[in-house]
Structure formats: C-alpha cells, structure tokens
C-alpha cells in the first residue's frame, strides 16, 4: 500500500540532522541546566547558544526569546499575562484564530471581564483592515491577537501593516506565527510586533518545544508556570535541552535551505491544484488557498463535490489507502463539529460538502500527488 503524508500543517517529520543533534545532546549533555557543576554548565551553555542563534535568525536580542513547550503555551503566556499583569482590558482578534488563542481569550473574558472584539473576516479568509482600524479607536488598553498564517486555509496576514496600525493606536500586538516561523524569513526589527509564538514541530523540529518572542519594553510579563527561575523567571521547569538544540538545528536548516525548499513546495502545490482541477472539474478551494499571492505556499484546502453518503467516512477511507490529511486543525481531531474557520467563510451549502486540508513539505513528491488525486477521483465520480 502507498503511504502519503500530506498533513504537514499538523506536524512535520524530523530532518535527519535534527535527530542526530538531539541524540548527541541526550547522550553527552544530560546535566540539569540549573546545576552549578560542569555537567549542568555544559547543558546551560547549549541552551544559551540556541537562544542566541534563534534570536539572530529573527534579528532580535537573545533576551527576547523564552523557550516554552510549544505554541499553545506561548499564546497562553502572552494573553494571560497581558490581561493580568499589563492591564489589558480589550482584546481584538478574529473568529478564525487557532483555539489556543480563541479559548484563552474566551476564558479571560469569563474570568476577568475583558471585552473581546472580533475583526470581520472576508470570504477569502483575510481580515477587513478597515474594520480593524475602527476597532483600534478606543480608550481601552488594547491587545490585538491575529495569527500570521491561518492553519486551516493558509490566508496570510499583512503582519507589518497590523503592527504599524497597533503602534499608531498605542495597542500591543501578539501574533501566533506557528505556521510561518521556519517557512518565511521574518525580520522582527522591521516588523514591530510585540509578541510572537512559535513551535518547532511545524518546521521539521521536535514536538514539545517552542518559543515566545517578547519584545523588550513591551511590558513586564509574569510567568504562567511557576516553581523555578528558569527562562529569566518567565517559565519555570527544567529546560528540555535536547529539544531546544533540535529546534535551533531545525530552524537554521530551514532558513539555510529556504529558497530551494520554497520553490520545491510551491511547484508541488501548483501541481496539486492543476491535477485535482483536471481530475475533478467541480472542485473548489476554500478561502484563497489556491492563490499564491495571498495564501501560504505550504497548504491547500479543497471543497470536494462528493455525495454526502460517501463523504461521511472520507478521511477514514483515505487513511485506509495510506493517505494522511485532515479536515482542519489536528487539535480538533475526532470532533464531530464543523471547522470553526470554514464556518466563518463558507455558505451553508458548501459547509455540507467535505473539505480537506492538504499540506506539503520538502519530503513530498509529484508522484504522491498523482496517487492522492487518483484516489480522490474514485469518490467524486
């Protein structure tokens, strides 16, 4: 049976060099980084080397990078502390954010009484920038939380434009950049965002590690997890040295090979779009996921003209054929509810049709695209 992994927006396979780096650290640098003896100092030195390298890759200072368990923790740290410690009373976001943001903001509204404003989202999956500008005209102390790239439909936010709007209106700006770090070059001196969340497993690094960028002078955040002084007092708990080093290795490799790998994945996505349109003429694309100018090159979200009876078990049937893909965020896997992202941008009629996200990586091939489209064709015809 063929085996095709087209769910890279959920997680990516590790590069061999990353596995080697992790294995080496686990073998030779097992000391607790908080210990004062030589074993601990060598582990601590590796962490600080990784912090410096990651900071340099984003054009920021090492002190602005705090290691976390991933993007969800990073989002939670920023949003919770912004309200509880920085005095934020108003959060502007959208209804198509990742649930790491949406659920956190909803809980803060319930627990702390903050006001939430939702920016209008167009059928393309992009925000209405004029509406955002209107929402920013308030006397309330405001934080804007908008993801750089939507994880389900791939719409790309003009992150620099939003950062400038926030500065102009004296609002803080947080962006979940989990789908863009490692896939785009971000210069955070040029883009004046205050807080950025990232996760290593989205760019061929290990799971269970990520980081949050906290711009100097954006405000004194306080830890979400307490019990130690690690990570400059912002994240208690013994650091996962091997994972941090693995994340550094993955990010540096991604950036070193970015131009070549972007070209490969762009060609693959374009080939997928052309092939599926030829095979299934009535297929449509959700949001602007088939538009390279306004959507990320890494994924496409398709709406398939399939009989509802066949569609009910489509993902299961694809899995039996060795094809890994998804109907949306992996965090919602197993849920019977429709995608909250697609519910915001699709008509009721299109929501009844099966929509699938296919996301690509450097390890995928055109031969795999041919196989997947051939299988999909048997359901659509």
Catalytic residues: 331
Q: Is 87 left (phi over 0), alpha (psi -120 to 50) or beta?
A: left
Name which of 316, 302, 319, 293 is nearest 353 in CA terms.
302
Tell me how far apart the alpha carbons of residues 265 and 283 are, in angstroms, rounded to a whole number.
21
CB 271 within 8 A of CB 372: no
- Judged by DSSP in three states, 230 sits in coil
- Judged by DSSP in three states, 180 sits in coil
Q: Is 154 left (phi over 0), alpha (psi -120 to 50) or beta?
A: left
Q: How far is CA 138 from CA 94, 117, 130, 133, in A?
A: 17, 11, 14, 10
Structure token pair of residue 213: 């960028």
- 90-103 CB burial, b ≥16 within 10 A, e <16: bbbbbebbbebbbe
Residue 252 CA, distance from chain mean position: 18
**Quick one: CA dihedral 256, 259, 265, 268, positive or negative?**
negative
Instruction: Count the neighbouring beta carbons within 10 Å of the beta carbon of residue 312.
Output: 12
E-assigned strand segments in 44-179: 65-68, 90-93, 115-118, 142-145, 172-176
Structure token pair of residue 47: 């962490």
């Amino acid at each position: 049976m063929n085996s095709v992994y087209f769910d890279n927006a959920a997680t990516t396979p590790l590069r061999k060099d990353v596995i080697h780096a992790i294995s080496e650290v686990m073998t030779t640098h097992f000391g607790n980084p908080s210990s004062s003896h030589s074993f601990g100092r060598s582990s601590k030195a590796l962490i600080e080397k990784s912090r410096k390298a990651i900071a340099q890759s984003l054009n920021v200072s090492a002190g602005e990078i705090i290691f976390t368990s991933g993007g969800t923790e990073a989002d939670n740290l920023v949003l919770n502390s912004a309200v509880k410690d920085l005095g934020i009373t108003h959060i502007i976001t959208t209804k198509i954010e990742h649930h790491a943001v949406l659920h956190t903001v909803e809980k803060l509204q319930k627990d702390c009484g903050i006001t939430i404003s939702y920016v209008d989202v167009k059928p393309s999956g992009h925000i209405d920038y004029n509406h955002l500008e209107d929402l920013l005209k308030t006397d309330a102390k405001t934080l804007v939380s908008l993801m750089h790239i939507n994880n389900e439909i791939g719409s790309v936010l003009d992150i620099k434009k939003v950062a400038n709007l926030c500065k102009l209106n004296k609002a803080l700006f947080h962006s979940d950049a989990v789908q863009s770090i490692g896939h785009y070059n971000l210069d955070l001196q040029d883009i004046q965002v205050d807080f950025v969340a990232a996760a290593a497993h989205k760019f061929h690094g290990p799971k269970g590690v990520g980081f949050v960028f906290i711009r100097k002078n954006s405000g004194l955040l306080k830890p979400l997890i307490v019990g130690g002084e690690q990570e400059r007092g912002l994240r208690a708990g013994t650091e996962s040295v091997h994972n941090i080093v693995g994340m550094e290795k993955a990010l540096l490799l991604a950036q070193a090979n970015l131009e070549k790998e972007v070209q490969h994945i762009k060609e693959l996505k374009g080939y997928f779009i052309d092939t599926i349109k030829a095979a299934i003429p009535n297929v449509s694309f959700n949001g602007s996921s088939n538009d390279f100018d306004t959507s990320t090159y890494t994924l496409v979200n398709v709406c398939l003209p399939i009989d509802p009876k066949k569609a009910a078990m489509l993902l299961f049937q694809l899995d039996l054929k060795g094809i890994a893909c998804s109907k949306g965020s992996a965090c919602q896997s197993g849920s019977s509810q429709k995608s909250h992202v697609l519910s915001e941008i699709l008509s009721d009629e299109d929501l009844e049709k099966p929509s699938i996200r296919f996301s690509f990586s450097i390890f995928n091939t055109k031969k795999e695209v041919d196989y997947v489209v051939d299988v999909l064709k048997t359901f659509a015809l």
